[in-house]
Each structure stands twice: as structure tokens, then as C-alpha cells.
Amino acid sequence: MSQQPINDEQVRQRMADYTGHAHLPPLVGLHSMSEASSRGLTVAESVARQLRLHWSLKRLHMIFVARIAAMPVYELKMAFSLHAHYCAEHVEPFANRVREMRQPPYGLEVCPDAALDAFFDEILCAPQTPALVLGLYGYAIPAVVRALERLVADTSKLFDHPTWRVCRLTLIEMQDVLEYGQQAIACLVDDAARSALAEWTALLEELLGAAGDLDGTQPKNSIEPRRMYSSVPYRYDGVPKRDERFRDPYNMGVNAEAFLFDPEIPALPKSIMLYFKRLREIDVPEMMSSILVETPGKPWEYYRDMTRQLWDEARHAMMGEIGFVSMGIDWTKIPLNFTWSLGLNTQLTPLERHGVLYAIEQGLMPKKTGKEYEWAVAVATANRLTALIQDYDWADEILHARIGRDWLVPELGGQKQALAFGDSAWSRILVDWARWREQGLTEHRNWWPEVYRDACRFWGIEPDPNLLAYSTTYENTRADLKQVAG
């Protein structure tokens, strides 16, 4: 019996005419029958693209993290913290999906294309803020978005649904990053900067072309990858940098903890110190970034969890910023010192830094002296914003203490050993309070009276003379470990 030739037009028509019961959408609405029969990648094709996305998100994560401490622009320091968190969260789903697709985990830690690696190396080594912003948000993030959009469009929503879903969820946040990045470029990269960077951006385009774009789907040029900024290997800079608004970063002239724990001081003025302590947490992402960059070889879950905490600390800083802005207080009048991140980043090993951080987080747990106390003070101010800030700050610190228990405590042999290790490391940090003044780095100015007067104008009350006279500094009263950060 001879086989009848397949009539393609009849097949197409059959697919187009097919409907479910009572005209319900077929295939749970993911595809029409025609789409399902004509669209999709093979397993090998899907895996090849995912490996590139997985690698690219890991590289981007580390670029964002590596540039946080030395990024002087506060807003970008915060943005890099968020965008590193997004990248860290989306690395693992791609790795897990690749493992599901008849592929062993081999290849996940291997660069998929030398030109792609050179592309990311160039951005990592960008020497100044305009180049870094343009490289990240003008080239790298758009390339990730293009790769995700192509994979969403090309793979089958039904056959390869888990991949489609991972890409779709990743794409939502990467599009947010792209939107922010376009605004950052508009604000920070003028025509003169673009012109000065023209040769370098042409190189970035050339490297993407040599890689067949980030996902490898486009025709590749035959140019041998070359380097410009990355011809000298990147060297991490852990010394914190701040922009011109942070005019007195060595200032330790006002002991916020002594003020907060003074039972004679009412709750309302303490809200200023709560906002100050939150905004001062700029230094925690600066320090945590150094742990991440200088601690290789950990499971990805470690970098994911630590980056989540890093982002939370950046959120806390912005909560303090919101508090001051809500009161009409110019927070740039307040010296926000970087002495904590500077000391830890330059005087301790990455493990010791983590130990200090863990000891601090554990010190924030006691009811009478920790986060619950700060929350109770905030509630007593009868200001909803202050209470909300401390409510979430407290919730976050519970998670952070757990992250330390998950990753640091087992490495150091137990809770007692971890706390002793952190205390010991902190005791070796040299705080040159008097020398900084002698060297002219700061006068340890008492900024409290000026800010308190501004706050009283907002509250519509007269300043309390006793509170105006507050002048307790950190000199010879080294802040208790439990009260330094967090």
C-alpha cells in the first residue's frame, strides 16, 4: 500500500480549525495548535542559550558587586546593590533548568565564548563612572534583555515551558534594570563623554559581534577578540569612595547609640538618630561587597544569600534617606562616616569581616538592646513612617542572623566560636579617632544641634535646651560591637 503525500495546507488548516471543548483555548492557552506545531527549539539549542545567560548573569553580578565600594555616587552604589541582587537571584534557576534537560552540570562554570568574557572584562575594568554606566546599561544589560526576549519568542511555551517561565520572570526584572540604566546614562553620560568613549564602545560592539551577540544566535564576525581597559587585569578596590555630598566621612562626633539608649530622652527626637543609623548603613554594602569579591569557590547559594543581605542593607540606608526627606532635613548636612567599612575592608580578611558582621547581627537580637528596642522607640514616636522603617529593619535583621548561621557558623565550628571569632576580629580594628582630627581629616563636628533645630521646625515645637546641649562623641567610648552597624 503506497503512502499518500502529506498535504501541508490541509495540515495547517486542521491545526488552525482545532478548538477545545465549548471552544475553550487549546493547550491551556499557551499556544494555538498551529503555533505549537511550528515553533520551538531543540533541547540542545535551548541549553546552549541558557548556558550563555547563566554565565552572563554571573559575570554581571560580580561586576556590580565589585564596583560598589569604590563607586562614589550614592545612588549608583544603591542601584548596583539592587541589580547585583537581581542577577544573583536569576543565576540559579538557569543552572537548575540546564540540569533538568539531560545535561549534567558540566559547562555551567565554563566560559561559553572567549569574546563574551572579554566583553565583560572590559566593563569590569571601566576606569570611570561614565564608562562603567555606559558599559553596563548601554551594552551589557540590553544584550541580556535581547537574549531573554529571543529565547521567550523562539522556544515552545509548552514543550519547554520551564525555560520559558524562567526567562519570562528574569526578563521582568532585567527590563526594570534597563529602564533605570537608560535614565542613569541620560543623567551621567553627556555627549562629550560618549565621544571620548567612542573607541571603547566600538570595541564592546565588536566583541558582542565576535560572540554572535550574548546568546550566540547572530552571525559572528571573524575578528580576533582584542582588549583595551582589560589589557591590565582588574584589581579590586575595597577602599570606600563617596561623592562630594559626603563632606566629612571620618566624623565620629555624635554617638547615636548613647543618645538612643538614654532613658531620659523622649522618643520623638530619637527618630532623628534612627534615621541617621539607617542612612549610615551605606557602609554595610561597601563592606559586604568586599567579602563577596574576595571569597571565591563557594556554592552559588552563598553568593545569592549574601547579596540578598547586601541589598537589604542598601534598602535600610534608603529608608533613612526617606525619613530625612520626609522632614525636610537636608541629610547632606549630616556627616555619614565610612570608618567602619574602611577599617574592615583594609584591616581584616574576608572571613574576619564576615565574623564581625555576624557578631553585630547577633547583637541586634536581644529584646532590650536590639532591633525590637529600636522598633519600640519608633512606635513611641507616633510617626507611622518611623515605625514602618523600623518594623522592616527588624524583620530583615532576623533573616541576616540566619544567613550568618547558615554560612559562617558551620565554617567556624559553632555559634560560640563564631561570636568569639567576630569579637576578636573587631577588637583588632584600629580606630584613629584623635589622629584623624590631628591630620585634619575631620574636626568631629557636633552636627546634632543644627539637625535637631531643623526637626523641631518640622514638628512645630521649641527645641529642648537640654537636648540641644547633647555632645557625647565616640572618643574614648568605643561603641559597643552590638551598636556599630545594622
- pLDDT at 20 (0 to 100): 78
* pLDDT tens digit sequence for 266-304: 999 999 999 999 999 999 999 999 999 999 999 999 999
The pLDDT score that the predictor gives to residue 369 is 79
Question: Does the pLDDT at position 482 exceed 70?
Answer: no
Cβ atoms of 276 and 331 closer than 8 Å: no
Cα–chain-centroid distance for residue 224? 34
Compute the distance between CA of residue 277 and CA of residue 320 in angstroms, rounded to an integer: 7
What is the pLDDT, as a whole number, of residue 6?
A: 54
Residue 423, CA atoms < 13 Å, CB-side half-sphere: 10
Q: How far apart are CA 313 and CA 427, in angstroms?
A: 23
Rounded Cα gap, residues 449 and 274, in angstroms: 16
CA-CA-CA-CA dihedral for 94, 208, 135, 125, to nearest 10: 90
Sign of torsion, CA 294 298 304 310?
Answer: negative
pLDDT computed for residue 4 by the predictor: 53
Nearest Cα neighbor of 140 from 213, 76, 80 is: 213
pLDDT digits (tens, 9 = 90+) for 415-425: 999 999 999 99
For residue range 363-376, list pLDDT tens digits in order: 888 777 789 999 99
Structure-block grid coordinates of residue 15: 491545526
Q: What is the DSSP string of 217-279?
A: -SPPP-PPP--SGGGS------S----TT---TT-----HHHHHT-TTS-HHHHHHHHHHHHH
Please say whether the beta carbons of 12 and 174 come within 8 A.
Answer: no
Integer Cα distance of 202 and 205 in angstroms: 5
**Structure-block grid coordinates of residue 439:** 591630620
- Which CATH code for domain 40-231? 1.20.1260.10
**What integer is the mean pLDDT of 474-485?**
51
Closest CA to 287 of 348, 364, 213: 348
Determine the Cα–Cα distance for residues 69 and 139; give it in Å rounded to an integer.
22
The average confidence (pLDDT) of the chain is 92
Largest distance between two CA atoms of the chain:
107
- Distance (Å, rounded) from C-alpha 273 to C-alpha 277? 6
Q: Are 168 and 30 in contact (CB under 8 A)?
A: no
Q: Name the band, by pLDDT with cuts 50, 70 and 90, for residue 475.
A: confident
Q: So what's the pLDDT on residue 7?
A: 62
pLDDT of residue 484: 43
Task: Give pLDDT, residue 189.
Answer: 98
* pLDDT tens-digit map of 102-161: 867 678 888 999 999 999 999 999 999 999 999 999 999 999 999 999 999 999 999 899
* Distance (Å) of CA 18 to CA 5, 10, 12, 30: 22, 12, 10, 14
- 261, 270 in Cβ contact below 8 A? no
pLDDT reported for residue 33:
75
> What ranges do the domains of the chain cover?
40-231, 256-483
Instruction: Give the tens place of pLDDT for each residue, 39-91.
Output: 789 999 999 999 999 999 999 999 999 999 999 999 999 999 999 999 999 99
- Residue 47 main-chain phi, psi, to 5 deg: -60, -40
Amino acid letter for position 256: A
CA 95 to chain centre: 20
DSSP label at residue 41: -
pLDDT confidence of residue 476: 54
Q: Which of 383, 397, 384 is CA-nearest to residue 278? A: 397
> At which residue does the C-alpha cell 542559550 appear?
49
pLDDT value of residue 123: 98
Q: How many CB atoms sit inside 10 A of residue 474's CB?
A: 21
Q: How far apart are CA 282 and CA 284, in angstroms?
A: 6
pLDDT score, position 5: 55
